[in-house]
Amino acid sequence: MGCIQSFRQCCDRPKNTNVRISLPAVCFVWQIAMIILFGIFIRYNEESDTHWIEHKTSNNISSNIENDFYFRYPSFQDVHVMIFVGFGFLMTFLKRYSFGAVGFNFLIAGFGLQWALLMQGWFHSLDPMDGKIKIGVESMINADFCVASCLIAYGAVLGKVSPVQLMVMTLFGVTLYAVEEYIILSLIHARDAGGSMVIHTFGAYYGLSISWMLYRPNLDQSKHRIGSVYHSDVFAMIGTLFLWMFWPSFNSAISDHGDGQHRAAINTYLSLAATVLTSIAISSLSQKTGKLDMVHIQNATLAGGVAVGTAAEFMLMPYGSLIVGFCCGIISTLGYIYITPFMEKYLKIHDTCGIHNLHAMPGVIGGIVGAITAAAASKDVYGTEGLANTFDFMGKWKDMMPTQQGGHQAAGLCVALCFGIGGGIIVGCILRLPIWGDAPDNSCFDDDIYWEKRTGNNFLFHLSETI
Amino acid sequence: MGCIQSFRQCCDRPKNTNVRISLPAVCFVWQIAMIILFGIFIRYNEESDTHWIEHKTSNNISSNIENDFYFRYPSFQDVHVMIFVGFGFLMTFLKRYSFGAVGFNFLIAGFGLQWALLMQGWFHSLDPMDGKIKIGVESMINADFCVASCLIAYGAVLGKVSPVQLMVMTLFGVTLYAVEEYIILSLIHARDAGGSMVIHTFGAYYGLSISWMLYRPNLDQSKHRIGSVYHSDVFAMIGTLFLWMFWPSFNSAISDHGDGQHRAAINTYLSLAATVLTSIAISSLSQKTGKLDMVHIQNATLAGGVAVGTAAEFMLMPYGSLIVGFCCGIISTLGYIYITPFMEKYLKIHDTCGIHNLHAMPGVIGGIVGAITAAAASKDVYGTEGLANTFDFMGKWKDMMPTQQGGHQAAGLCVALCFGIGGGIIVGCILRLPIWGDAPDNSCFDDDIYWEKRTGNNFLFHLSETI
Amino acid sequence: MGCIQSFRQCCDRPKNTNVRISLPAVCFVWQIAMIILFGIFIRYNEESDTHWIEHKTSNNISSNIENDFYFRYPSFQDVHVMIFVGFGFLMTFLKRYSFGAVGFNFLIAGFGLQWALLMQGWFHSLDPMDGKIKIGVESMINADFCVASCLIAYGAVLGKVSPVQLMVMTLFGVTLYAVEEYIILSLIHARDAGGSMVIHTFGAYYGLSISWMLYRPNLDQSKHRIGSVYHSDVFAMIGTLFLWMFWPSFNSAISDHGDGQHRAAINTYLSLAATVLTSIAISSLSQKTGKLDMVHIQNATLAGGVAVGTAAEFMLMPYGSLIVGFCCGIISTLGYIYITPFMEKYLKIHDTCGIHNLHAMPGVIGGIVGAITAAAASKDVYGTEGLANTFDFMGKWKDMMPTQQGGHQAAGLCVALCFGIGGGIIVGCILRLPIWGDAPDNSCFDDDIYWEKRTGNNFLFHLSETI
């Protein structure tokens, strides 16, 4: 008991937000480490190496267009936009935290993708011949995916943490992600093309657990800054729309070539369309005069993309996608209205962007939909070869039945939950240490602490604060 | 006479802008209807179905890269950005209607694309074997195209209608679009790759006719809100630029594989470049001191893309594209200076975004250019096979001559005009009924009516109103 | 001496900013010239012509997907976004020059790409059979590249020149670019996929030399307007992020099909990620309390993409890319802190956007890195065929050695520097003539001079000026 108390006392020391030593130190040390590790481990794979021309001959590949680059690069670019513009601008809605939203998003994504290439490489693409990790366009997509889970987690703690804390959170987040991804996809052999479980469920619970550990009882002092102004809401819509539009690319980016990518894009497109209508309907119902709330439009409209992630490459059928989107729009919007305030009041979890409604619940739903769809798969619908291809019933898994696959999907969901919650609690403890330069309770949601403002800005700031 | 008078009286009842029942009802009922109809009718096509692997074998397709997905998906994503970010942000220019612009754009596009998949499917991709509509990436592009015509129409009535009216307008708009598209493309056998006639002419006259039917004689009461502030103009430039940049993808998205898509992209690229220069020239000429008007830059610079839509896949030649763009930049900018005020004053048509200058006139020009280019086509220029491919002189049309094709193109333009004007008048009558929750004359162009604003915003709003 | 003095007197006449004659005249004359020249010279190439179908047969091309369109169009669209949204929005950071930034960027890019198609066509794609220039998707990418160099130059003079001056600057800039590109790539046989030398070094020194020639000793009168407000910085981040995200497409857009494009994308992706961390580290170090400066985040984070341009398609190795990015983030940020003020004070070069730090220095570094990487190339690493392919050791260059190639790379860099500085000085002299309508010293950085503002805006402007 004494130990915990002294830990708590230690954590409650007055805050010092000067990060002039710690932030550059973290950036330099980690970037130099990346260079060294990349030097030791990372090489081009056979499709991005100059030996591609010999590889083509020896594998009877007739044309350069068969290079994986042409199958996946357009999707990669769309995913890239989601990571940097989508997530970055979605979080600009706070009236005084736009620099922090888009700038720190940039920082942690820039670091995270390098670390993800290494971590995922060790688990997935280590070449046994020479002990090197071989990277190509698919590695870049996977690195962006991994970063997405950390950016989701950032949504829960937006405005309450320092950039140094974010770097630490990303370091551990990427590490945990790579392990749970390996367990879920390789050991358990669950399928998760769009990452409902691997990315969204894990990322959201990781962020929520950290937010729980970092709970600030006196956050009321910054409460007046948790809100938007007209222009910041329009900026946030840039993020929303780029996420919404490119989600079909996200869910189809690493699906099987051919019908897999094609089908994943269609399912996501449809699910998202349905979500828009039900989000707006519930948003309008929730107000006395039927007015819409921008928070719901910015966030809940995306829930359908999350929830269709796992099943996107399966034969979910177009109407199935609509049903998923229909339900998620309702659940996510209701979450913003009822669950977020409840969680803050009773569970002591403050969730700045409402990631519980946008990622956690839809992610879990996505995992369940995936399990059901997989369990219900049949040779009638998929065809013999189609079934084997879609669920990768090959090699040591060649005798697997769809019902079994359903069980494995459910197991995968549990792993994602455990890693998210468990990992978040541990990392949250680390982040409570008073050495990271986070803001005092009365200066949260104000990027003045970490961003130099040029002359003249202060007046506008104070104006927007007082009104 | 008495009947008309009582209709008018009925329509002139005091306005009630509470949409708390009607908006959720419309969203839910229509979304549920979509789910049921999708369940009955819509399935994956052979390229997005798991049977693709068998289809490949039976059709001697050597590689997955031959899946239509890889020919069209990058263009689809560009079109998707145009629909949601392009049209959405283009309309944010009004100082107090940015939420309404981007939010309602989102709503009607989300609904419209589902209904378009059904309507277009019944006409174009019904499989006679099983009575199902088979969808793939091309269906998604066509659905987005169809939605574009409704968003164009929205531009004419921006700020003056309720979301419920927009949903009704979209329901009928998509239906009319599918019918006129079927008549023009399939029955008349006109070609219209970029939709100058099918999308722009139809959509613009549909919107203008509705605006005419909904004419508000006392709109002066809201006049002070029809204008922009500095930041809203910059937001609108986001819309302009994404439309401008991705228009080559729009016009080439459903052209023939190979040279067709390639040529359509080049022609559109060139036409748009020429439009920028002449729009700016006329804009500068129109002011005493040569200053530029942001309205012209935001809108008229896009006219070249509209006008080259029909002929983009033909052998218009690079200089031909430049000439089309050159003329449209002039005409469209002059339209903003002279025709829009004229239409409002004498024809009682209030056109908020000036769609007459951006879509209607350039669309008609595009139809005419298409007819002339088609009529002038020759085997010398196109080659025998090239001519047949480009104009699809196959099957029952295999003996058609280019001059005949020119006539068919002209006929197509007339059909688009008739459907636009006729449909708009009928739908406009329906929308005059006083049950849709539209704003009273003194509250137009103010999204306060339909959007919940968080504390503090009102002050800024009133500030921006008074100045 | 008397001659120079009278030239100077002539240049110092009071300024007249009315461009009502000159701007439309320039636009119309040049656009009409373009139409005539395109009519005489420009035709579709064999991949965008209707004879593609015959070309396919005669060249044994099995599928339409082998059309260059499908190899390059997605990259083209990304580059297009960088040119119009990337460069345009990056320059919106000034508090009162957003219209000028994004609008004039639009104008000069729209004109420049047409002129570039002609100039580059004469040097690179003139068909000796019929004396015509044959264009396709690669021509469009190259035209966009050429425009990029003029937009870089615009960054140095942002806010201080008139649109007519910009048009003149673009006319000469494109012409010089085409010549130096021909010398560097064709005569000297240097490789420069991402244009570190050809685009960035040339463009930056061209702009800096012009800015030097146009030096205004009394610019202090406008100094209070050289700065940003909160929202203009967020707008600028849109530009930054779209440049950052799509830079891998920029550097890979015209690389060799297959592994060339693939490798260039990977190298750029990695280099940019490393730059983010070191830019942020140095930015934080440079302030007493470790706060970050938005200028550095907006600009220095991009330096890694510039510096990896030449070597992106070589076997730079992933860690090599990280090292390049690491160094450039540091150098570029230090440039903003120390070199830009130094240049203004001692060299009389005012550089509004700091292009010396973002393009000039990283461009030169990129040229040097390219030379070293080329000189160090070996058959062990590249393979025999790979080496010949990557460095294009074919035809008359088939006996070239990598070490020689390194020398040629260095020679290319010198040519780019000479053309940039020499061309800039000459064009700068022309632009000093007092006939172009540029702003007086006390009205720089204020787009009120060239842009019509609607009622009500002035108040907000004056407000933002006073605070």
Contact present, C409 and C190 (Cβ < 8 Å): yes
How far apart CA B283 and CA A382 sit, in angstroms, is 59
CA distances (Å), B39 to each of A13, A320, B32, B133, C329, in order?
A: 60, 8, 11, 11, 54
Confidence label for B11 from pLDDT (cuts 50, 70 and 90): low
- Mean pLDDT, chain B, as a whole number? 92
Question: Which chains touch A (3+ CB pairs under 8 A)?
Answer: B, C
Question: What residues of chain B lie within 8 A of the CB of C135, using their CB?
Answer: 266, 318
Confidence label for B15 from pLDDT (cuts 50, 70 and 90): confident
Q: What is the pLDDT of residue B459?
A: 45
Question: Residue C368's closest CA among C196, C198, C204, C251?
Answer: C196
Residue numbers in chain C where pLDDT is lower than 70: 1-13, 454-467
pLDDT for B34 beyond 60: yes
CA distance A134 to chain C (A): 10
pLDDT digits (tens, 9 = 90+) for C61-120: 989 999 999 999 999 999 999 999 999 999 999 999 999 999 999 999 999 999 999 999
CA distance A386 to chain B (A): 5
CA distance B152 to chain C (A): 23
Interface touch B85/A382, C-beta < 8 Å: no
Vertex C126, ends C124 and C132: CA angle to 5°?
150
Shortest CB distance from A258 goes to which of B52, B102, B238? B52
How far apart CA C312 and CA C317 sit, in angstroms, is 9
pLDDT means over runs of 10, chain A (467 residues): 62 78 95 97 95 92 93 96 97 94 96 97 92 96 97 96 96 97 96 96 97 93 90 95 97 95 97 97 93 95 96 96 97 96 94 96 97 95 93 91 95 97 96 90 91 60 42
Question: What residues of chain C lie within 8 A of the CB of A64, using their CB?
Answer: 71, 257-258
The ipTM estimated for the assembled molecules is 0.94
DSSP secondary structure code for residue A62 in this structure: -
| Cβ atoms < 10 Å from Cβ of B378 | 10
Confidence label for B8 from pLDDT (cuts 50, 70 and 90): low
How far apart CA C325 and CA A162 sit, in angstroms, is 25
Interface touch B278/C28, C-beta < 8 Å: yes
Q: What is the pLDDT of residue C208?
A: 97
Interface touch C18/B277, C-beta < 8 Å: no
Question: What residues of chain B lie within 8 A of the CB of A292, using their CB?
Answer: 99, 103, 450-452
pTM of this prediction? 0.95
Q: What is the pLDDT of residue A437?
A: 87
Higher pLDDT, B457 or C150: C150
Interface touch B77/A246, C-beta < 8 Å: yes
Shortest CB distance from A44 goes to which of C95, C233, C266? C266
Contact present, A27 and C280 (Cβ < 8 Å): yes
Contact present, A133 and A121 (Cβ < 8 Å): yes
pLDDT digits (tens, 9 = 90+) for B341-390: 999 999 999 999 999 999 999 999 999 999 999 999 999 999 999 999 99
Contact present, A193 and A310 (Cβ < 8 Å): yes
Shortest CB distance from B23 goes to which of A263, A281, A319? A281
DSSP secondary structure code for residue A437 in this structure: -
Confidence label for B119 from pLDDT (cuts 50, 70 and 90): very high
| Cβ atoms < 10 Å from Cβ of C401 | 13
Question: What residues of chain C lie within 8 A of the CB of B289, using their CB?
Answer: 17-18, 20
Helix locations, C125-229, DSSP H: 137-157, 163-181, 202-213
Q: What is the pLDDT of residue B288?
A: 86
Vertex B30, ends A301 and A358: CA angle to 5°?
15
DSSP string, A208-256: HHHHHHT--TTGGGGGGGSS--HHHHHHHHHHHHHHHHHHHHHHHTTSP
DSSP string, A255-281: SPTTHHHHHHHHHHHHHHHHHHHHHHH
Mean pLDDT check: name the lowest of A4-13, B79-88, B169-178.
A4-13
pLDDT for B467 beyond 60: no
Interface touch B49/A78, C-beta < 8 Å: no
What are the φ/ψ torsions at residue A75 (nearest 5 degrees)? -65, -40
Question: What residues of chain A lie within 8 A of the CB of B23, using their CB?
Answer: 280-281, 284, 290
Element holding B332 (H helix, E strand): helix B318-334
Q: CB-based contacts of B18: which residues, under 8 Å, 6+ apart?
A: A289, A290, B437
pLDDT digits (tens, 9 = 90+) for C225-284: 988 999 999 999 999 999 999 999 999 999 999 999 999 999 999 999 999 999 999 999
Question: Residue B205's closest CA among B347, B323, B103?
Answer: B347
How far apart CA A423 and CA A206 sit, in angstroms, is 6
Place of tokens 């004007």: B421
Interface touch C245/A77, C-beta < 8 Å: yes
Handedness of CA A149, A153, A155, A158 (dihedral sign): negative
Helix locations, C286-360, DSSP H: 294-299, 303-307, 318-334, 340-346, 355
Interface touch C110/B277, C-beta < 8 Å: yes
Q: What is the pLDDT of residue B380?
A: 93
CA distance C164 to chain A (A): 32
Confidence label for B456 from pLDDT (cuts 50, 70 and 90): very low
Interface touch C297/A106, C-beta < 8 Å: yes
Question: What residues of chain B lie within 8 A of the CB of A280, using their CB?
Answer: 23, 27, 107, 163
Q: CB-based contacts of C401: which residues, under 8 Å, 6+ apart?
A: none
A14 class by beta-carbon count within 10 Å (0-12 exposed, 13-18 middle, 19+ buried): exposed
CA distances (Å), C373 to each of B189, C88, C144, C320, in order?
A: 57, 33, 27, 10
Q: What is the pLDDT of residue C426?
A: 97
DSSP secondary structure code for residue C215 in this structure: -
Tokens of C293: 């400066």
Shortest CB distance from B385 goes to which of C54, C80, C110? C54
Question: What residues of chain A lie within 8 A of the CB of C245, using their CB?
Answer: 77, 80-81, 84-85
How far apart CA A88 and CA C297 sit, in angstroms, is 14
Contact present, C22 and C437 (Cβ < 8 Å): yes
Interface touch A48/C263, C-beta < 8 Å: yes
Question: What residues of chain A lie within 8 A of the CB of B53, using their CB?
Answer: 258-259, 383, 385-386, 389
| Among chain A residues, CA nearest to C233 | A99
Contact present, C111 and C36 (Cβ < 8 Å): no
Report which residue type is found at C431. Answer: L
Q: What is the pLDDT of residue B18?
A: 87
| Cβ atoms < 10 Å from Cβ of A459 | 14
Q: CB-based contacts of A164: which residues, under 8 Å, 6+ apart?
A: A19, A22, A23, A26, A436, A437
Contact present, C333 and C282 (Cβ < 8 Å): yes
